[in-house]
């Protein structure tokens, strides 16, 4: 099972919106609405941001949103803040395994 | 609030078996509808799911690691364990344990802090 493809880096200025893509196949992202997103600051454990494509756990700010079209899922951060500078990972259910992670995206706040 | 804490040797020799324990507090590892997973992250790289134990007693493994991995639970100690045999330098990573409520994405809602394991002679 190959890792889902994410851009290596995305950047934006405070207050702007950015979108991180997560591209898979019809055997994972495209075949199920079971995509989650995690935020990881350096040296810390990942934190759940989005599950089931577009649902936020309680406590996650509303500026984080998720969506999916075909084989590509997306995480949008609206009103970018300095504390959003971190690495972001998607994961999806697959036909052969409960999880495959994305390659990860480093978000830089300019 | 559930807390998870990984522990085990930080250094393992090549070809030997890596053994880690995840101690769960604030809840029983054998109750509820949860999956308990091991996930690893090589230095500077992305996350890789290793496998999971379901509270109803079943296990599932990453197909790429299945031949070398065993995940089990000690309910008396409320601990999840990981054994990975025939390790090489490629198995050097931070190893995390995490809980996932069963349903939909089975998302990981609680994570341990991670423990670094280096494979070296």
Sole residue written with tokens 């099972």: A1
CB pair distance less than 8 Å for A46 and B112:
no
Is residue A64 less than 8 Å (CB to CB) from chain B?
no
Please, which residues have CB within 8 angstroms of residue B44's CB and are 6 or more apart in sequence? none
For CA atoms B29, B34, A104, A97, the dihedral sign is positive
Best mutation target among A29, A37, A42, A45 (most B Cβ atoms within 10 Å) is A45
Q: Chain A contacts of B47, Cβ < 8 Å?
A: 38, 46, 89, 91, 101, 104
Q: Which helix (H) or strand (E) holds B5?
A: strand B3-7
What pLDDT was estimated at residue B32?
87
Phi, psi of A27 (to 5 degrees): -90, -5
Structure-token match 């790429």, residue found: B64
CB interface of B with A, residues 30-59, below 8 Å: 35, 37, 45-49, 52
Chain centroid to Cα A52, Å, comes to 12
> Is B49 close to A99, i.e. CB distance below 8 A?
yes
Cβ proximity of A35 and A53 under 8 Å:
yes
CB A66 within 8 A of CB A37: yes
CB B10 within 8 A of CB B117: yes
Token pair recorded at residue A86: 């971190």
A88-104 pLDDT, tens per residue? 999 999 999 999 999 99
Q: What is the pLDDT of residues A28-86, one digit of tens each?
A: 999 999 999 999 999 999 999 999 999 999 999 999 999 999 999 999 999 999 999 99
A77 CB within 8 Å of a chain B CB:
no
Task: Collect all residues with Cβ–Cβ distance below 8 Å to B15 and sequence separation of at least 6.
Answer: B86, B87, B88
Question: What confidence category does residue B17 fall into, taking pLDDT thresholds of 50, 70 and 90?
Answer: very high
Using only C-alpha atoms, what is the Rg of chain B?
A: 14
CB A18 within 8 A of CB A107: yes
Q: Could you tell me how many CB contacts below 8 A there are between chain A and chain B? A: 67
Instruction: Report residue A106 as tokens.
Output: 């480093």
pLDDT band at B103 (very low <50, low <70, confident <90, very high): confident
The verdict on a CB contact (< 8 Å) between B49 and A93 is no
Look up residue B78 and give its two tokens. 């409320």
Query: According to the model, what pLDDT value does residue A57 have?
Result: 96
Residues 82-101 of B with CB under 8 A from A: 96, 98
| Residues in contact with A43: Cβ distance below 8 Å, sequence separation at least 6, in sequence order | none
E strand or H helix that includes residue B60:
strand B59-61
Residue B112 pLDDT level (bands cut at 50, 70, 90): very high
Answer whether B14 touches A (CB < 8 Å): no
The alpha carbon of residue A15 is apart from the nearest alpha carbon of chain B, in Å, by 28
What's chain B's average pLDDT?
95
Q: Are strands B11-12 and B115-119 parallel, antiparallel or unpaired?
A: parallel
């Amino acid at each position: 099972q190959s890792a889902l493809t994410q851009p290596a880096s995305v950047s934006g200025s405070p207050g702007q919106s950015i979108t991180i893509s997560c591209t898979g196949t019809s055997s994972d992202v495209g075949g199920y609405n079971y995509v989650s997103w995690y935020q990881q600051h350096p040296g810390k454990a990942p934190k759940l941001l989005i599950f089931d494509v577009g649902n936020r756990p309680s406590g996650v700010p509303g500026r984080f949103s998720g969506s999916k079209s075909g084989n590509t899922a997306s995480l949008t951060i609206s009103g970018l803040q300095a504390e959003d500078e971190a690495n972001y990972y998607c994961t999806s259910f697959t036909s052969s395994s409960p999880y495959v992670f994305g390659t990860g995206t480093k978000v830089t706040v300019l | 609030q559930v807390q998870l804490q990984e522990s085990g040797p930080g250094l393992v020799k090549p070809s030997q078996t890596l053994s880690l324990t995840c101690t769960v507090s604030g809840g029983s590892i054998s109750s509820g509808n949860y999956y308990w997973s091991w996930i690893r992250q090589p230095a500077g790289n992305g996350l890789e799911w290793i496998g999971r134990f379901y509270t109803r007693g079943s296990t599932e493994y990453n197909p790429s690691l299945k031949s070398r991995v065993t995940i089990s639970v000690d309910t008396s100690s409320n601990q999840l364990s990981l054994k990975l045999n025939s390790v090489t330098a490629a198995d050097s990573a931070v190893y995390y344990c995490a809980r996932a409520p069963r349903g939909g994405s089975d998302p990981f809602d609680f994570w341990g802090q991670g423990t670094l394991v280096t494979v070296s002679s």
